[in-house]
Amino acid sequence: MYLRYSLLRSARAVQRCHPHSRLAHTSTTTKHTPPTTPCKQYLEPTHTAALTSLSQESKSVIDASAKYMLPVYARPGFVLSHGKGSYVWDMEGRKYLDFSAGIAVNALGHSDEGVAKILGEQASKLLHTSNVYHHPGATKLAELIVELTRKEGGLGLDATAGAKIFFSNSGTEANEGALKIARKVGKDRGGPSKSRILCFENAFHGRSMGALSVTSNPKYQQPFMPLLPGVDVARINEMAALELITNETCAVIVEPIQGEGGINYAQEEWLKAIRKRCDETGAVLIFDEIQCGLFRTGKLWAHSALDSECHPDIVTMAKPLANGYPIGAVLMRDAIAETMTAGTHGTTFGGSPLACAVGYHVLSRLSAPEFAQQLQESSDYLQARLARLTEWFPSLLEEQIRGRGMILGLGFKDTSIPAKVVNLARERGLFVLTAGSDAVRIVPSLNIGKEEIDQAVDVLESVLEIVTAESVA
């Protein structure tokens, strides 16, 4: 009954913007008839961010930021105050629909009551211990990740194979840990010369010196060179990459779906070839699933949907694991983990009682069958609505929507347009992100509803109308 009510209510929202749309009762499940024309409700900006419209309190925050904080972020001229679900508000009371989810982090949205409850309960019991001592939270979360991976598919695990977890504070630290582990495995297998690492163009693995060394974007790398030596760079989905995996290669690191780089897929047959070549040379295969993992694609891992013949030795994770509380992790097969002994790696804060308690709560909810069903319905609906954009704006957009699940991208033919779309959308109360030079990234909370999807796509339709009009003017 609730599902039917939600569908009817969201259909009325579509009809308000698309008067020619109607409901189609074709089965026991109520479906939407797609709108026949783009929404033009948001042609005028609704959320101005000019400094003249800010309160003195907001101006004080922005001025203090300029005075005391390192200026490494190009932030828009407003100050966020609070959030709830998929919405956030600034200090002037303007409401924004967040389809960036803190860069694919807030899987359960903002100010989730369950997360807040766990934070309060755990903080009142045991906040931090360091890794000098055991605490039950880390063990519980590690077991949940490993057993879910075995159940849902990933890392090539079967009923007998085992895996180990190392907890960090972030995705960058997870990738640093994975690279260190692969270097040590390489020396175990092939001696000091087995130390080279293969990465790929348009990848993003982090901004620390090691992770930055395998993030082959000149914009990020050039100011900080020289970087880690012994790094080779290839192109994703090109078989020429196999030639760079030699007996001196200790690691190959790849994102099954490149997030920052443009929502680009690694093809299954190509990954199988990479896996085979790694086996031939004794190289460790690392999948960076920091953005595309933990149910963002609808599966536990992006590689869960792929044949086990292309599964990695190590997978790194972070973003949604604790819904915004900092935590990352490295998951590896036992055969890889056996190289690491006491003192070979460590962290003061990683895997704290608080981080693990929140992570366990969040992952338990994300992995529930009813959540998976809701996620599938919402992602199908979002992709169906986005698909109309490619039909209505063929001069601007690629024919196919990139990605799957809730990691999606609108690919543009003109690389000057994505940043413009992001700005225009924000001026109309919608947060989206760029991805690479030619895409707009859509990574909402995983519990997003159909009404929020309708609102977001309505804004995008209006924005693309504006861009189209400007291009022919």
**pLDDT 10s digits, 271-301:** 999 999 999 999 999 999 999 999 999 999 9
Tell me which of 310, 336, 366 is where a domain ends: 366
Domain that holds residue 237: 121-366
Q: Are residues 76 and 171 in the same domain?
A: no
* Helix (H/G/I), strand (E/B), else coil: 132: coil
Mean pLDDT to the nearest integer, 254-262: 96
Q: Are residues 130 and 249 in the same domain?
A: yes
Q: How confident is the model at residue 159 (pLDDT cuts 50, 70, 90)?
A: confident
Residue 53's pLDDT is: 80
Q: How confident is the model at residue 35 (pLDDT cuts 50, 70, 90)?
A: confident
**pLDDT 10s digits, 186-235:** 999 999 999 999 999 999 999 999 999 999 999 999 999 999 999 999 99
Q: Are residues 149 and 261 in the same domain?
A: yes
Q: How confident is the model at residue 100 (pLDDT cuts 50, 70, 90)?
A: very high
- The percentage of residues in the chain with a pLDDT greater than 90, rounded to a whole number, is 89
Of 262, 263, 259, 326, nearest to 288 by C-alpha is 259
Residue 48's pLDDT is: 82
Q: Are residues 162 and 92 in the same domain?
A: no
Q: Are residues 215 and 284 in the same domain?
A: yes
Residue 15's pLDDT is: 42
Which CATH number is 94's domain given? 3.90.1150.10
Q: For residue 116, is it within any domain?
A: no
**pLDDT 10s digits, 336-380:** 999 999 999 999 999 999 999 999 999 999 999 999 999 999 999
* pLDDT above 60 for 23: no
Residue 333's pLDDT is: 98
Which CATH number is 310's domain given? 3.40.640.10
* pLDDT above 90 for 72: yes
Please answer whether residues 230 and 183 qualify as being in contact, where contact means their C-beta atoms are separated by less than 8 angstroms: no
CA angle (418 as vertex; 414, 419 as ends), nearest 5: 125
What is the model's pTM?
A: 0.92
Residue 18's pLDDT is: 47
d(CA 65, CA 321): 29
Tell me which of 366, 399, 425 is where a domain ends: 366
d(CA 452, CA 463): 17
d(CA 415, CA 421): 11
Q: Are residues 214 and 287 in the same domain?
A: yes
Q: Are residues 310 and 296 in the same domain?
A: yes
**pLDDT 10s digits, 42-58:** 999 999 866 568 999 99
* Mean pLDDT, all residues of the chain: 92
Q: Are residues 105 and 139 in the same domain?
A: no
Q: How confident is the model at residue 418 (pLDDT cuts 50, 70, 90)?
A: very high
**Bond before 76 cis per omega within 30 degrees:** no
Helices and strands, number each (H, E), in the chain: 14, 19
**pLDDT 10s digits, 444-462:** 999 999 999 999 999 999 9
Tell me which of 317, 335, 366 is where a domain ends: 366
- Total domains, the chain: 2
